[in-house]
């Protein structure tokens, strides 16, 4: 089954680019990628740009309305994701716990509802 691992963090408290803390975080992501790849579980993933670059679109009464940024005010923002192919949700949770963002934010593991199911 495929699972989406959604990585949430607080953009305001992220380690600055080029810092030792950011280098350690990136090394952790590389280690996660190697382990998930070794298991044949990783199908893809991407880092997302900051929420300041986002737009939220809603259609009401047939008319689109767009606002800057995400809709909800939150302390954590969606910063990236992985698509994992695992035998069970327990395995997906085990892998999600290896994602460095889980140490300072959270990782939501959600089963993907495959088309045709």
Polymer length of the chain:
117
Which ranges of 4-112 would DSSP assign to H, the alpha helix? 20-38, 89-96, 101-104
Q: Return the pLDDT at 71.
A: 62
The whole-number pLDDT of residue 73 equals 62
What's the pTM value of the predicted model, to 2 decimals? 0.87
Fold of the domain spanning 2-111: Alpha-Beta Plaits (3.30.70)
Q: What is the pLDDT of residue 66?
A: 87
Sorted by where each begins, the domain ranges of the chain are 2-111
d(CA 71, CA 78): 12
Question: What pLDDT does 68 receive?
Answer: 81
Task: Note the pLDDT of residue 43.
Answer: 97
Annotate 21-55 with b (16+ C-beta within 10 A) or e (fewer).
eeeebeebbeebeeebeeeebbeebeeeeeeeeee
Digits of tens for pLDDT over the chain (117 positions)?
999 999 999 988 999 999 999 999 999 999 999 999 999 999 999 999 988 888 888 899 999 988 887 666 678 889 999 999 999 999 999 999 999 999 999 999 999 999 887
What one-character DSSP code corresponds to residue 74? -
């Amino acid at each position: 089954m495929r699972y989406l691992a959604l990585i949430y963090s607080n953009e305001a408290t992220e380690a600055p680019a080029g810092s030792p803390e950011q280098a350690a975080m990136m090394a952790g992501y590389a280690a996660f990628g190697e382990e998930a790849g070794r298991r044949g579980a990783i199908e893809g993933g991407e880092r997302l740009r900051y929420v300041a670059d986002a737009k939220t679109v809603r259609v009401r009464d047939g008319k689109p309305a767009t606002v800057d940024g995400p809709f909800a005010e939150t302390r954590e923002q969606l910063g990236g994701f992985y698509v994992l192919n695992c035998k069970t949700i327990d395995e997906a949770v085990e892998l999600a716990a290896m994602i460095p963002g889980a140490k300072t934010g959270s990782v939501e593991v959600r089963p993907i509802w495959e088309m045709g199911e």
